[in-house]
């Protein structure tokens, strides 16, 4: 049984839909593969070169092209030819906060956001904190990151990761992200890594394929449109908003960005990074999207052998307040 047939056996509706979005054998093959392990070096806890040298004593490292601090990581063989199969999250390096176990595509939004020391940043849907701590790292703990999440049960892991990584410039809040529209033009940059249907997460756990349904996609799209409008409102004129998801649903990606462009004076910027990507959809099931949507980054799993991902870089109009 090939990968597409296995996907169809588990969730026929998913295959029917994704045959329209991609449908290639390569797409299903890669979406069915386990993800490569990857980590981000945390320079808030140590010198970059020192941490990399420490890791190279135990692991085989392959640089991630789009993130200087990121590496694909595999256990190195010892003298007897065996490999340490310890999960990266259980290693002393991870527990000390020298590294963060983070999926390679997940490192993209903070890189694209490009926060500067001293700025006021909003991470609207922050838990578990991988991107929050990456933002704090780029800010060198100078300025302030407001790390928000709506669910109480996700806050403890967020706080734990912030503390473990030494991200001292982070303030945690618990509220519906849409409520940030009250804070008009307050933040220099905003990251909205939106709650989504998690198609990219199928490579981590097949349960995401089993529970996927089209009805939830439409529900999430409505939520995401409310969140992106609030994020844009909270952004200072001239500021940068990065919108991202780990799904490939047009209603959750291109349609959400098109909705923002249709209701504001927002403009999109090209994302120039050394990676492969798939052309964004400008039309889907009878809907036509703004041509500017072509500037977004749509990543299918076979493009870079990583999680499926979508990223848009938005700049707020200088005259919009």
Q: Which H helix or E strand runs over 315?
A: strand 309-315
**CB count in 10 Å sphere of residue 186:** 16
Q: Where are the beta strands (DSSP E) in 92-220?
A: 99-101, 120-123, 144-149, 170-174, 187-193
Closest C-alpha among 201, 312, 188 to residue 261:
312
Helix, strand, coil proportions of the chain in percent (round to 5)? Answer: 40, 20, 35
The one catalytic residue in 144, 196, 246, 296 is 246
Do residues 212 and 163 touch, judged by C-beta distance below 8 A?
no
Q: Provide CB contacts within 8 A for 20, sequence distance 6+.
A: 285
Instruction: Kindly state the tokens that stand for 145.
Output: 């990151």
The reply to whether 246 belongs to the active site is yes
Return the closest-CA partner of residue 72 out of 80, 81, 63: 63
Q: Which two tokens stand for residue 290?
A: 């703004």
Hey, which residues are catalytic here? 246
């Amino acid at each position: 049984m090939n990968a597409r047939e296995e996907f169809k056996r588990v969730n026929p509706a998913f295959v029917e839909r994704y045959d329209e979005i991609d449908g290639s054998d390569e797409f299903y093959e890669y979406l069915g593969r386990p993800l490569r392990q990857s980590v981000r070096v945390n320079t808030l806890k140590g010198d970059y070169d020192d941490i990399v040298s420490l890791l190279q004593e135990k692991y085989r490292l392959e640089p991630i092209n789009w993130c200087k601090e990121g590496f694909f990581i595999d256990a190195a063989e010892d003298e007897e030819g065996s490999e340490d199969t310890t999960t990266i999250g259980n290693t002393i390096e991870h527990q000390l906060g020298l590294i963060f176990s983070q999926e390679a595509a997940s490192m993209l939004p903070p890189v694209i956001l490009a926060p500067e020391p001293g700025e006021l940043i909003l991470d609207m849907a922050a838990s578990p904190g991988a991107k929050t701590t990456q933002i704090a790292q780029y800010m060198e703990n100078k300025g302030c990151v407001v790390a928000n999440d709506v669910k109480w049960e996700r806050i403890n892991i967020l706080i734990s990761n912030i503390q473990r990584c030494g991200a001292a410039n982070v303030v945690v809040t618990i509220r519906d992200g849409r409520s940030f529209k009250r804070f008009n033009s307050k933040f220099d940059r905003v990251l909205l890594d939106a709650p989504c249907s998690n198609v990219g997460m199928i490579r981590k756990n097949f349960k995401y394929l089993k529970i996927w349904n089209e009805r939830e996609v439409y529900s999430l799209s409505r939520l995401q449109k409310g969140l992106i409008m609030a994020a844009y409102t909270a952004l200072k004129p001239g500021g940068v908003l990065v919108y991202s998801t780990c799904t490939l649903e047009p209603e959750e990606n291109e349609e959400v960005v098109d909705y923002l462009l249709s209701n504001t004076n927002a403009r999109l910027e090209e994302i120039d990074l050394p990676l492969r990507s798939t052309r964004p959809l400008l039309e889907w099931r009878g809907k036509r999207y703004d041509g500017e949507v072509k500037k977004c980054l749509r990543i299918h799993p076979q493009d870079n052998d990583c999680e499926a991902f979508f990223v848009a870089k938005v700049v707020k109009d200088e005259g919009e307040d």
